[in-house]
Amino acid sequence: MTKAASRRTSKQIYVLNGPNLNRLGLREPEIYGTTTLAEIEALCREAAGRHPLEFRQSNAEHQLIDWIHEAIDQASGVIINPAGLSFRSIPILDALKMFPGPIFELHISNIHRREEIYRHSLMSPVVTAVLAGLGPDGYPTAVAAMLRRLGPRRA
């Protein structure tokens, strides 16, 4: 399916979250804020309105890869925060290369202002766009931008 074709379907938007993001709210609040992942999911669903949205989190690299494979057939767009795997996972990079629709890479913190180990994402060269540093608000912002990119839904 071409990128253009995937825009007109009302397939789900997949929002995928990597390791340690299940601890949001408690984890390094000075960097990630106090908003929990459940609250971020609610913000995404509100931003998606009637458009179907799948919101998931895993601490396991293989699980994220399996969900990206699933998205190849089930999703119109992917929003992914690979978290710490952003800087190490060639398998996730390879999986994202196979996704035919738009991909937004998202980081809650501005990774480019952080320690060197956080500054070079392997994913950025293969994604449509990168959002970093907007805090939890980056998620509903990404969902709204994805809806605009996907265009009007087929009735």
Phi-psi region of 11 (alpha: psi -120 to 50; beta: other; left: phi over 0): beta
Q: Which residue is catalytic, options 14, 32, 51, 139?
A: 32
Q: Could you say which of 6, 9, 10, 20 contacts ligand DHK (CB under 6 A)?
A: 20
Catalytic status, residue 32: yes
Q: Which is nearer to ligand DHK, 9 or 20 (CB)?
A: 20
Enumerate residues 6+ apart whose C-beta is below 8 A from 10.
51, 52, 76, 153, 154
- Residue the block writes with tokens 């309105």: 49
- Which residue number, 82 or 101, has a Cβ lying nearer to ligand DHK? 82
Site string (82-121) toward ligand DHK, x via CB under 6 A:
-xx----------------------xxx-x------x---
Q: Catalytic residue among 107, 118, 120, 139, which? A: 107
For 74-143, give the DSSP string. Answer: HEEEEEEE-GGGGGT-HHHHHHHHT--S-EEEEESS-GGGS-GGGS--SSGGGSSEEEESSGGGHHHHHH
Whether residue 120 lies in the annotated active site: no
Question: Interacting stretch for ligand DHK, rule CB under 6 A, among 38-46, 67-75, 80-88, 143-151?
Answer: 80-88
> Which residues of the chain form contacts with ligand DHK (CB under 6 A)?
20, 81, 83-84, 107-109, 111, 118
